[in-house]
Amino acid sequence: MTAPALALSGLTIRDRSGTALVCDVDLTLEAGSVLLLIGETGSGKSLIAQAVMGLLPAGFTASGSIAINGHAPVEASQAGLLRLLWSRETLLLLPFLHHDVAGPYRASGPIYVREAAMQQPAAVFRDTLPPSFPRRLLSLRAYDANGLMRDAEVVEGSDALSHLQRLLAVPDVPYLHVHNARPGCYACRVDPA
């Protein structure tokens, strides 16, 4: 039997005042399975994910234990960045502020980064798509200079180049964002050449 992908034991999360927001959660997620957390806004779904990744808001604390991919459990208070093994390559799940604007479209979220990519310079693609795009469903978002969304499309990655060119031609759109639409996370920013 393989080790669980994720095992939580007695996970409790407290806010800055010491009030318990999530209490004594035990959970086991087997490799290849899917878990859906359902609850009202403020019920602690995101806090559980943040605790697993070691990304709780400042002043929040976690207790209990977290084990990932069969590794020895660590105290929840010591959880670092979630490390996943994928095809013998380590992926890091990192927090990233990808749209730092002062409006309603300010956005941050987790991104997956191959550990080996942390040692490489950033890749630049001109008039061509990154090799991962054709295999994915993509969300393309066009923003104005104030960070407000002016247009958006969801497209098959193999068709993305013409859609990116069309969105860059929209008046008053100086940049685009590309997100992986399924499961979604930020992929990159697109600027005109």
Residues 94 and 185 in one domain: yes
pLDDT single digits (tens) 96-109: 899 999 999 999 88
pLDDT at 96: 86
Examine the pLDDT at 85 and tell me if it is beyond 80: no
CA Rg value for the chain = 19
Domain stop point among 57, 79, 101: 79
Residues 72 and 94 in one domain: no
Residues 75 and 94 in one domain: no
pLDDT category, 81, cuts 50, 70, 90? very low
Residues 94 and 186 in one domain: yes
Handedness of CA 41, 79, 12, 70 (dihedral sign): positive
pLDDT at 123: 81
pLDDT single digits (tens) 41-53: 888 888 888 888 7
Residues 29 and 110 in one domain: no
In a domain, 1, yes or no: no
For 135-156, what is the mean pLDDT?
94
pLDDT single digits (tens) 169-191: 999 999 999 998 876 688 899 99
- Residue 45 DSSP class: H
Examine the pLDDT at 118 and tell me if it is beyond 80: no
C-alpha atoms less than 13 angstroms from C-alpha of 89 in its C-beta half-sphere:
10
Domain stop point among 34, 52, 79: 79
- Structural domain containing residue 59: 6-79
Residues 138 and 64 in one domain: no
Q: Which residue has the higher pLDDT, 34 or 118?
A: 34
Residues 43 and 64 in one domain: yes
pLDDT at 83: 38
C-alpha 143: how far from chain center: 20
Count of domains observed in the chain: 2
Collapse the DSSP code of 78 into the 3-class scheme (helix H, G, I; strand E, B; otherwise coil) and give the result: helix
Integer Cα distance of 43 and 87 in angstroms: 34
In a domain, 11, yes or no: yes
In a domain, 101, yes or no: yes
